[in-house]
Amino acid sequence: MVFELADMLPALPEIILASFALMLVLVAAYGGDGAANARRVAHLTLLGIVLAAFTVLSVSPAQETAFGGMFRADAFAHYMKILVLMGSFAAVFMSITPLERDDINKPEFSLLVMLSLVGMMLMISANDLMSLYMAVELQSLPLYVVAAMRTNSLRSSEAGLKYFLLGALSSGMLLYGASLVYGFAGTTSFAGIAAAVADTELPVAFIIGMVFMITGIAFKVSAAPFHMWTPDVYEGSPSPVTALFAIAPKVAAIALMLRLTYGAFGSIAVEWSQVIMALSVASMLVGALGAIMQSDIKRMMAYSSIAHMGYALAGLAAGSHDGVFGVMIYMTSYVFMGVGTFSIILLMRRDGQSATRISDLRGLSKTQPLFALGLMVMMFSMAGIPPLAGFFGKWYVFLAAVNAGLVPLAVIGVVMSVIGAFYYLRIIKIMYFEDSEAPLDADVPLANKLVLGVSMAVIMLFFAGLNSIIEAADTATVALMAPF
């Protein structure tokens, strides 16, 4: 095989990000110590993300695959990559000042985010068991480190360690499953696996391998019952890190789940849709019920994200075009809701200390009306109240479920969303119906205001732009499900 430079063109965004990461290593090492350098690295990271996003949108190479078919950059990858890039951009952008205030503003943070971002992008484009595993590891390892970034905090170290141990376990399962699948198909490429599983009797070992692989990714998605690390890691990590965890890696992991199920196992949806359905129901239940008793908003958001993954997986369980389409709309709304919510959680500080108990929000509507309004919009959207973005995600996901004959799943889903509404309303109650004793710090960085403003606008006007989102998601879905 003759290697040509043009063959690498589909991977240009990743190459840009990786080059930036390497360059940032030098800047971080030689740029001097202190806040100025951390800021410089963060700004360069943002620049790299913008460039990558620009490349994703504008460069459309002749062929979709690269690296001998291990990498696939189709319309689906473009769509999901934009989501991931937006989520990471917002997370880095609004973390600069909070990190400085927490005195953990090391240049390594942005650098590690950048490396992890390369992993996420590769996950979305994975088209081979090898690239899948490499991407997952590249995405995870930097995150283990940033989780433990607050070195003088026991909880942060605990979060990092816990995340690492369970992440390693899930990688092991993924790898074991991959080996069984490889053993059956005799190839690691998704196209080859898809060809091998079509119209044949499938041995039990293969099914076990497939389920192990789905389980491994379910860890990354934090779908119940593989969610145990989520609340602790969310709570223990510094808030900027949680903001990062909660958004982009989830999108990447869901994208990987879609890639694997449709790329490799597309013709045997019957075999895996039950597994996904079980994950979905369990996540909706755990997410809705687990969040009720939480007193820490980051912990609550952890359960909330578990529930959201349950809803997204309900679309996947449908095993149809509509299902994938629903998942994509859902993840789109999820990114903006997550970004908007965390832009407020990041500024929850009192007397210079991070204050993330739900009760700290008491009376926010009087002290900082605009942020209270913003958080209220996010909470109503997460509860799925129309006409906000979260509703449309649910509409399309459940539409697919009902269309696939999974009415009980849809009914469980909507009932759980009512239970979920309870704890979202609780936040609104605390902000609006109660008076504050000690207001939160009023000094808010501009970045958070910008991020909040943009995500509020997107959430509230989602219905107006829905048509173009639908068209893009439809093209992406068709690309994902196209036979090789």
Kindly list the residues in this chain that would bind another protein in the complex (CB under 8 A): 365, 369, 380, 385-387, 391, 395, 398-399, 402-403, 407, 410-411, 414-415, 417-418, 421-422, 425, 428-429, 432-433, 463, 466-467, 470-471
Q: How far is the CB of 333 from another protein (least distance, A)?
A: 15
Q: How far is the CB of 421 from another protein (least distance, A)?
A: 6
Minimum CB distance to another protein smaller for 330 or for 380: 380
Q: What span, in angstroms and rounded, lies between the C-alpha atoms of 463 and 391?
A: 10
Continuous segment of H or E residues that includes residue 19: helix 12-30
- What the block records as the tokens of 390 is 């979260």
Minimum CB distance to another protein smaller for 27 or for 414: 414
Q: How far is the CB of 289 from another protein (least distance, A)?
A: 15
Q: Which residue has the tokens 């350098």?
A: 37
Q: How far is the CB of 380 from another protein (least distance, A)?
A: 6
126: amino acid identity, one letter? A
Minimum CB distance to another protein smaller for 88 or for 417: 417
CA 437 distance to own-chain centroid = 35
Helices (H) and strands (E) in the chain, counts: 19, 4
Q: What span, in angstroms and rounded, lies between the C-alpha atoms of 6 and 46?
A: 26
Q: How far is the CB of 359 from another protein (least distance, A)?
A: 14
Q: How far is the CB of 474 from another protein (least distance, A)?
A: 9
Q: How far is the CB of 294 from another protein (least distance, A)?
A: 17
Residues 6+ apart with CB under 8 A from 463: 387, 392
Minimum CB distance to another protein smaller for 350 or for 429: 429
Tally of CB atoms within 10 A around 431: 26
Q: What span, in angstroms and rounded, lies between the C-alpha atoms of 188 and 203?
A: 17
Minimum CB distance to another protein smaller for 89 or for 396: 396
Minimum CB distance to another protein smaller for 57 or for 407: 407
Minimum CB distance to another protein smaller for 55 or for 417: 417
Q: Which residue has the tokens 């959430």?
A: 459
- What the block records as the tokens of 424 is 């979202």
Query: Is 359 in contact with 439 (CB distance < 8 Å)?
Result: no
Q: What span, in angstroms and rounded, lies between the C-alpha atoms of 289 and 284?
A: 8
